[in-house]
Each structure stands twice: as C-alpha cells, then as structure tokens.
Structure 1
Amino acid sequence: MTTSKIFANWDATHSELWSHQPIRLEHTMHRQPAFSMDDLARLIESYPREHYSLVKTGLKGSSRVWREGEIGKLSGREVIEAISRGGLWLNLRNVTSIDRRYRDMVDRMFAEVAAKVPGFEAPTHQAGILISSPDAQVYYHADLPGQGLIQIAGRKRVYVYPNTPPFIRPEHLEDIALFDVEVDIPYHAWYDQHAQVIDLEPGQMLNWPLNAPHRVENLGVVNVSMTVSYVNDDIRRAQILHLANGMLRHRFGYTPKSRNIRGPAFFAKQVMQKLLRDGKWVKRERSVRRPIDFRLDETDLGKIVDLPKAA
C-alpha cells in the first residue's frame, strides 16, 4: 500500500466546515488495490457471516421494503454480478476489524483530519464497505456516531437534512439508542425542500454534522462505497445520554428535561443506563430483529429465493 496523502485538495474552508456543514472532499482511496473488484470478491468470499448484511429494498417511489438475506454459496464475483442486476446492497460491516488494509487506510484518513481540524479527535472509529445495485437506495435515517461516506466506484446522490427539529428530535435519537434501529424515524417528502443535495463520484467523500438525517439514491450504476463512523468523548457522552433518556421515557414514563452531557444529572443517568442496559427489559426491547428470509439464487443471478419462515 502506498503512503500518499488520503485527501488531495484539503483547504482552510474544509477545516472550518468539518462537522458543522456537509462538505465534499477529494480523496485517493479509490486507487488502492484493496478496492479492485478481484480483491472485493475475495473479501466477500471470506467474510464472516455475522459481520455482513445483505438487504433488499424497494425501488425509488415505491413503498418501503426492507428484507435481509444471505449470499448462499455464490462466489464473490457472482455476488457482485447479482447485486448489479438490481434491488440489493451488501454491507460488509466493521471491515476495519476484519482486514488490516482498510484499517490502515482509515487510520491514515483520521490522522490527516486531526492534523487539519483543531481539536478534532476520533480515538474510536470503524468502517464498512457497501456494494449496491444501480437502483438501490438507503432510506431516511440518522446515526449516533460521527459519520462520513467515501465513494469508491459508481455515482450516488445524498440528501442531508438539518440535525434539528422537525427533521430529527431528541426522542428519535433516544429511540435509536434504545432500540438499535436507525431507519424508523419519520420522513415526509417535503423534507427534501430543506435538504442539501450532493452528488458523489469516485474519489469523493462526504462528511456531515453529527446526527444529521440523510438518505441516499444510486444513480444508475453499481456503487462501491465505504462508510466511516467515529466516536470521541463528547459523542460517547451524548450516546449515553440518549440511551438513558430513552430508558426514562419508555421504561418509567418520564419525559426527560435535561440533555446536558456533564454535571450531576448526567452522572446519575450514566449510572442508571449502565445498570439497566444489559438487563432483561432492554434486551426484550431490542429483541425484535428482521429475519433472514431470502438467499441469492444460485442458478439465476439477480433473483432471490425465499427461505422458509422459522417456526
């Protein structure tokens, strides 16, 4: 792997805007051999089952569809070919813990950001690789960690919305923390009038403010992207707060009033969520998981085979 700079044209405006506004940056990661189709195919073939998600979504303009499946016995190249025929995306989660090449790239990327943005740090970070169909989409959602989207191949359109009400409310963040589901927050078509719409090409990266809702549409070609997420002390404290306030709201029927991430009230919430987060009630609230209900067809690439429903 080369050790050239990750960011090709970083300037002072990017340092000022990082994490405050959506910004599009130029990067060089798409040139790395680790992102060749041969290497991605081999990665798919060896990827641990518990660390990937294969998702089928509805077409643009259709009602929301979200099904999860498995790749079956297809080769990596066959999986990519099946995805190219529509309606699917594969998320290789936490690839930075599976393959050192991607960990090194992301480490270097965040080191460059830290050198450019005063006060920025990302002591905890990870990344995943998304391979998605020409017509695939990611529904409106928000994330608790800091986020970035790195385009490797193909073109996509990203809609980034303000991280303020009505687009995202404190109770939405609480629900994400408590129920561990990001895509169930409300969305209305008129929200698009207030979104920043940014097209990404290979060699471009998008960063946006913390908790900003967003959705993504592919633009007619197979896409390969890398998602990065990061946590620092303030983000970690905010995650603790959202979980604790969600517990207060759903478990005890109390509407939280404080959203401070320091001080006595925060300390009390920190202790409470630590005591309750591994308990039966939280596990029950998180127990509803989408079943694995299809696999890729081995004889007709691009088709899926429904799996029998569990008894």
Structure 2
Amino acid sequence: MSDAIFTNWTDDVTRAWATEPVRLKHRLHTDPLFSMAGLAELVDRYPREHYSLMQVGAPGERRTWREGEIGKMSGDRVIESIANGRMWLNLRNVSGVDKRFAELRDQLFGEIGERVPGFSAFGCTMGILISSPKAEVYYHMDVPGQSLWQIHGKKRVYVYPAEPPFRRDEDLERIALYQVEVDIPYNTSYDEHARVFEIEGGEMLHWPLNAPHRVENLDCLNVSMTTEYWTEPIRRSQMINLANGILRHKLGVTPRSRAINGAGFWAKAALQAGVKRAGLLQKARKERRSIEFQLDTERIGAIRDLAPVGR
C-alpha cells in the first residue's frame, strides 16, 4: 500500500468522529493526481453529465447561484477562467469516472475504517471542486456523511450545530425532494454559534451528519476534494427525509416521526420507493437545475448567458 493519507490521526479524532467537527492533516496536496496540469487534463475529458458549474455573487452582494456549462473550452482555459471569475466547478463522482481516484477513495475509506470502530460505509464517492478567489458556497447541508479536503489555496469554513434552528427537518426534506442543497434559510446571527476553520492545502474537515455549513474562499484560486459516504442509519434517514418531504410538501401532511425502525418507517420506505419508481419528482428537479450560462471563450473569467434549458 502507498503511504498513509492521514498524517496526524489521534485517539481524540477517533472519539470525536461524527459527533463534532474534526480537523486533520493529509498528504493529497502533494499527489501528482492533483497537480494543476493533471486537473486541467481531467477537466478536458470530464463527462458533461458528471459536472456542475455554478456562478456565485460577490461577497456582500445579492446572493447568486446559477448553473452553467463549460462549452468547448480546454481544461487549462477553464481553470484560468475560474481563477478570474466568480464560479465553482464541481467534478462530481470523480472516483466513478477515473479509476485512479477510485483507488485513492478505497485507500482513504479503508484508513477511516481501521481507525473508527464500527465504521461501515458504502456508496462512497469523491468529487473535486475548483473555485474562484473570494467565491462562496452559501449556507447549506448535505444528506450523506461528508468531508472537505483542501488541496490548493485557502478557505474559511463555518460549521453550525446539527440541530434547530440551524438544521430544520423541513429543509432536509426539501433537499431530498429537489436535490438542491443551498435553498435553506440563513441568518447572520447563526455565526455566533459556528465553529470557524481556516484551512489550506494538506488539511481536511469532517463534521457531524447534516451539520449546516458555508464556505468563503480567501483571495486565491481554490482546489478542494469532497468525500461522501452512506451507512445504513444514514440511508434510512434519507429515506425518511424523502418520505416526510412527500407528505409535507406534496400532500400537505405534517410528519410526526423521523423513526428509522418499526412499522411507520417501513410504510414510509414503501411510499418514497414508489414515488421514485414512478419518476414523479424528475420534472420538479429539472426545473430547479436549468442551464443559464456558458463560459465566454473570448473573455477569460466572463460568462455568456443562455436561454434557460432544463437538465
């Protein structure tokens, strides 16, 4: 096996894993897979269905979150454009697209499994984020277990408690329904309760399940990696998120339980499975993911608006 990915794991990290935010060091910022030339080559051949390009607003200005596409730009020009714009490029499921990253994923989760008693994950994926100086990811939360790995650049990460009012059940349900993570309420007063981390290449963060968070890039191009995973309790919680979302947002019924066992759980499991099989949520999801712009090949860092097209 190659050198260990984590370089400073301690017993304190093992005890805190999944119950509070933890900060660790890693060696991935030195791996040739994540060189700028390697990333440009990856962007060059990345399948359209596996990436998202998002435009965000300037700090302190009106919130903007629009989805676009690369067009016919080369990978190195895409990265140059991001470095001179205000965007996030998310290469989703890179571990499913490129076997080199799949091998890295397997080693990474293998190391976690060796260090965290009872950790048994499946559906593990990795993604790569390339983002502009001072770009933001707005207040949001994710439904699987997740970590953020900094490769190049610096960013500030705010992690909030995974409890009301910061994390509301109805927001988790909406995320499960529409697969849009940033459309949830945020109040600046929440920051008083956040754990704030500034991380640079060679550092990573892991936080409790569904903990809301937001990200501010410092004044430099950023390259990060995300890892996501499922466990059986997380999978069942997501089934409840979707079933309760159908009840609350589609049928007008207020759910009274988030139990992941018992007869009520199995009834909700059947409900959400039937809705998914029938494809009843696809139209609503596409309406929230229209493609609105394309990178401008003539002006580095600029975009060209498109007529909205559903995904």
Which TM-score bucket, shorter chain as reference? Answer: over 0.9
Tell me how far apart the structure 2 counterparts of residues 251 and 177 of structure 1 sit (CA, whole Å): 13
Partner of 1:242: 241
- Superposed CA deviations along residues 58-115 of structure 1, whole A, max 9, x for unmatched, are 0111111011111122211111111111201111011000111111112111111111
Q: Which amino acid aligns with 1:163?
A: A
Q: Does the aligned pair in 2 maintain the 1:29–1:105 contact within 8 Å?
A: no
Residue matched to 1:44: 43
CA RMSD of aligned residues (A): 1.4
Give 3-state SS (helix, strand or coil) of 1:73's partner. coil
Give 5+ residue unaligned stretches, structure 2.
none
Q: TM-score, normalised by structure 1?
A: 0.96
- 1:265 aligns with 264
Q: Which has the higher mean CA deviation after the structures are superposed, 108-117 or 247-256? A: 247-256
Counting aligned pairs with the same residue, the percent is 53
Normalized against structure 2, the TM-score is what? 0.96
Post-superposition Cα deviations, 1:268-294, rounded to whole Å, max 9, x if no partner, equal: 111121112233543343241332221
- Helix, strand or coil for the counterpart of 2:3? coil
User: Contact 2:85 / 2:302 at 8 angstroms: preserved in 1?
Assistant: no
5+ residue gaps, structure 1, are: none
Runs of 4+ aligned structure 1 residues displaced above 6 Å come to none
User: Does the CA-based 8 Å contact 1:160-1:215 persist in structure 2?
Assistant: yes
Q: How many residues are matched?
A: 310
Structure 1 match to 2:153: 154
- Give the secondary-structure state (helix, strand or coil) at the position aligned to 1:187: coil
**Number of the residue aligned with 1:182:** 181
CA drift at 1:310: 5.5
Contact 1:157–1:219, Cα closer than 8 Å, also in 2 = yes
Counterpart of 2:119 in structure 1 is: 120
1:1-311 map, 5 Å: 3-279=2-278, 281-309=280-308
Distance (Å, rounded) in 1 between the aligned partners of 2:309 and 2:129: 28
Equivalent residues of 1:68, 1:294 under 8 A apart: yes
Partner of 1:121: helix, strand, or coil?
coil
Distance (Å, rounded) in 1 between the aligned partners of 2:300 and 2:197:
32
Label 1:68 to 1:287 Cα distance change in 2 as closer, same or farther (>3 A). Answer: closer
Output the amino acid matched with 2:174: D
Contact 1:153 1:222 in 2 (8 A): yes
Distance 2:255 2:295 in 1: 45
Q: Would the aligned equivalents of 2:291 and 2:309 in 1 still touch at CA under 8 Å?
A: no
